[in-house]
């Protein structure tokens, strides 16, 4: 700032004694230079750079605008020697097929003989070329005996309407509309005849994402993740610094994909979150069996380790799926988790049928003359009672699960103020209400996180 101030003062010192007429001339010259500079930088109205006549990209199904039909486009190799033509000159044809090419594109050059042959086969089709090259293309066509007319798209007029990232690129126009944009594999006798005779255009469409950058977060891109095209996308990374540990999922609707995301979680918590999407009962400790050599190490994983020890076993995941319900989302996610953690740790998660001990609540059909104790002043729905008993048992060494076999879900059950800690005290308030809990051995579904025969390298 000080230097700029001194410079301004010095300049003022130099011009302060200049005669008035000289100052006037200097001002006029300055204004002329300034206006010329503005003129050079300000785009013309028809340039599109100022947004007044911006060219909008055309997609399959769009109608060709009059601006494109009437645009004067430079050409080379025209049979009548024309230097410029309008696209509307070919409007009467059933199909206009434009091949975007370049002399530096090997596959483009290999495809030119096919286009030349097709030109002689179909009189109802106009075959045109389009290139951004002004110097090489005309001479190449002449030297190799091609009779194909090529747009010399030096102003990128066609490119703005039909942008592409790689060539060859083929534009199909019929009945005033864009009916297809494809790659070379779709330019066949069969597809052309089908369009001419049945009005059916190629279905393998190519519409390049010219603005796509691999560094962008494409996971949230609705153009990429669009059901039913999207099947699934699984991205996993390590610990995310300064990011809150959290988990969320959402079932997709209205064409949007389903989503699961978690940050800064260990494998055990990740599996529990995944299985809880459709089977929240299996995420509890007494239903979730750890049968892996990694058990002790992974049980101690938490975000606190970032500050104390290591983040080696903490992960962040983004998963998108075309699934439309919780069961499908959980199934797809579990498959991806098993693929990754199978390679990383040599373990996988799965639902199994196991024979196990469990506390089972059933309706008690035996005659009961017991009165409900007056001290049972609180109530819980049956499902909440079973959850509470299950959670309490999870904290014990045995961790025996509780199961509701009453076929009653919301039936209110009276409970004591003092929470019981053994089977007898639980039956003391269940039996008078027509229920009984017993310890049984039965076949039940559990979730097992166990080792697999092969895989695992994360020591």
166 pLDDT above the threshold of 80:
yes
pLDDT band at 373 (very low <50, low <70, confident <90, very high): low
Tell me: the pLDDT tens digits for 252-297? 888 788 999 998 899 999 999 999 999 998 998 889 999 999 888 8
pLDDT at residue 216, rounded to an integer: 56
Beta bridge partners of 289: 448
H or E segment and range at residue 309: none
Specify the higher pLDDT residue, 414 or 51. 414
84-86 and 72-76 strand pairing: antiparallel
304 pLDDT above the threshold of 80:
no
227 pLDDT above the threshold of 90:
no
Residue 403, domain member (yes or no): yes
Specify the higher pLDDT residue, 394 or 289. 289
If asked whether residues 235 and 325 sit together in one domain, one would say yes
Q: How many domains does the chain have?
A: 4
Residue 60, domain member (yes or no): no
If asked whether residues 17 and 135 sit together in one domain, one would say no
pLDDT at residue 226, rounded to an integer: 57
Segment 311-331 shows an average pLDDT of 90
If asked whether residues 414 and 325 sit together in one domain, one would say no
Sheet hosting strand 288-291, strand order edge to edge: 288-291, 435-451, 347-363, 402-404
Tell me: the pLDDT tens digits for 202-216? 988 888 877 766 555
pTM value?
0.51
For residues 39 and 169, what is the distance between their CA atoms, to the nearest angstrom?
A: 37
32 pLDDT above the threshold of 60:
no
Residue 209, domain member (yes or no): no
* Average pLDDT of the residues of the chain: 81
Most confidently modeled of 21-35, 90-104, 239-253? Answer: 90-104
Residue 31, domain member (yes or no): yes
pLDDT at residue 246, rounded to an integer: 87
pLDDT at residue 19, rounded to an integer: 35
Contacts of 151 (CB under 8 A, 6+ apart): 73, 74, 75, 98, 128, 129, 130, 131, 158
Contact 273, 349 (CB under 8 A): no
For residues 133 and 152, what is the distance between their CA atoms, to the nearest angstrom?
A: 6
Contacts of 376 (CB under 8 A, 6+ apart): 414, 415, 416, 429
Look up residue 240 and give its DSSP letter.
-
In angstroms, the Cα distances linking 158 to 65, 170, 208 are: 12, 12, 14
If asked whether residues 283 and 361 sit together in one domain, one would say no
Residue 56, domain member (yes or no): no
For residues 55 and 160, what is the distance between their CA atoms, to the nearest angstrom?
A: 6
The tokens of 112 are what?
């030119």
378 pLDDT above the threshold of 50:
yes
If asked whether residues 32 and 97 sit together in one domain, one would say no
If asked whether residues 80 and 155 sit together in one domain, one would say yes
Segment 317-331 shows an average pLDDT of 92
Residue 139, domain member (yes or no): yes
119 pLDDT above the threshold of 80:
yes
Tell me: the pLDDT tens digits for 173-205? 999 999 999 999 999 999 999 999 999 999 888
If asked whether residues 70 and 187 sit together in one domain, one would say yes
Beta bridge partners of 356: 442
pLDDT band at 118 (very low <50, low <70, confident <90, very high): very high
Tell me: the pLDDT tens digits for 64-87? 999 999 999 999 999 999 999 999
Sign of the dihedral defined by the CA atoms of residues 117, 119, 122, 128, in that order: positive
If asked whether residues 273 and 154 sit together in one domain, one would say no
Tell me: the pLDDT tens digits for 418-440? 888 899 999 988 998 999 999 99
Specify the higher pLDDT residue, 459 or 182. 182
Domain with 264, as residue range(s), is 218-344
CATH number at residue 192: 3.40.30.10
């Amino acid at each position: 700032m000080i230097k700029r101030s001194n410079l301004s003062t010095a300049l003022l010192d130099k011009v302060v004694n200049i005669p008035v007429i000289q100052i006037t001339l200097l001002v006029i010259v300055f204004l002329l230079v300034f206006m010329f500079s503005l003129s050079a930088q300000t785009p013309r109205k028809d340039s599109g750079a100022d947004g007044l006549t911006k060219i909008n990209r055309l997609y399959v199904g769009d109608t060709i605008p009059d601006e494109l039909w009437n645009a004067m486009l430079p050409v080379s190799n025209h049979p009548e020697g024309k230097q410029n033509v309008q696209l509307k000159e070919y409007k009467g044809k059933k199909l206009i097929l434009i091949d975007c090419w370049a002399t530096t594109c090997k596959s483009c050059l290999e495809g030119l003989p096919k286009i030349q042959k097709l030109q002689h086969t179909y009189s109802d089709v106009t075959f045109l070329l389009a290139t951004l090259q002004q110097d090489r293309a005309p001479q190449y066509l002449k030297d190799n005996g091609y009779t194909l007319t090529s747009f010399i798209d030096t102003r990128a007029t066609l490119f703005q309407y039909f942008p592409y990232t790689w060539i060859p690129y083929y534009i199909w126009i019929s009945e005033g509309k864009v009916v297809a944009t494809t790659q070379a594999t779709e330019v066949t006798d069969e597809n052309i005849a089908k369009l001419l005779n049945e009005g059916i255009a190629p279905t393998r469409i190519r519409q390049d994402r010219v603005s796509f950058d691999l560094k962008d977060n494409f996971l949230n891109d609705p153009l990429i993740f669009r059901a039913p095209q999207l099947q699934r996308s699984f991205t996993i990374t390590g610990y995310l610094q300064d990011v809150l540990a959290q988990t969320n999922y959402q079932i997709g609707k209205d064409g949007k994909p389903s989503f699961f995301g978690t940050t800064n979680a260990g494998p055990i918590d990740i599996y529990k979150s995944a299985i809880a999407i459709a089977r929240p009962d299996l995420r509890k400790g007494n239903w979730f069996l750890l049968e892996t050599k990694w058990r002790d190490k992974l049980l101690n994983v938490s975000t606190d380790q970032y500050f104390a020890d290591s983040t080696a076993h903490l992960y962040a995941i983004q998963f998108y799926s075309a699934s439309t319900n919780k069961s499908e989302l959980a199934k797809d996610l579990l498959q991806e988790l098993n693929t990754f953690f199978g390679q990383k740790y040599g373990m996988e998660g799965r639902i199994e049928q196991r024979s196990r001990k469990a506390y089972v609540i059933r309706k008690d059909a035996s005659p009961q003359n017991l009165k409900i104790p007056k001290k049972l002043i609180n109530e819980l729905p049956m499902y909440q009672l079973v959850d509470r008993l299950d959670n309490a048992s999870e904290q014990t060494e045995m961790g025996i699960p509780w199961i509701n076999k009453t076929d009653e879900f919301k039936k209110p059950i009276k409970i004591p103020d003092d929470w019981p800690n053994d089977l007898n005290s639980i039956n003391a308030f269940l039996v008078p209400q027509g229920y009984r809990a017993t310890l049984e051995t039965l076949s039940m579904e559990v979730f097992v996180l166990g080792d697999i025969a092969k895989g695992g390298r994360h020591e």
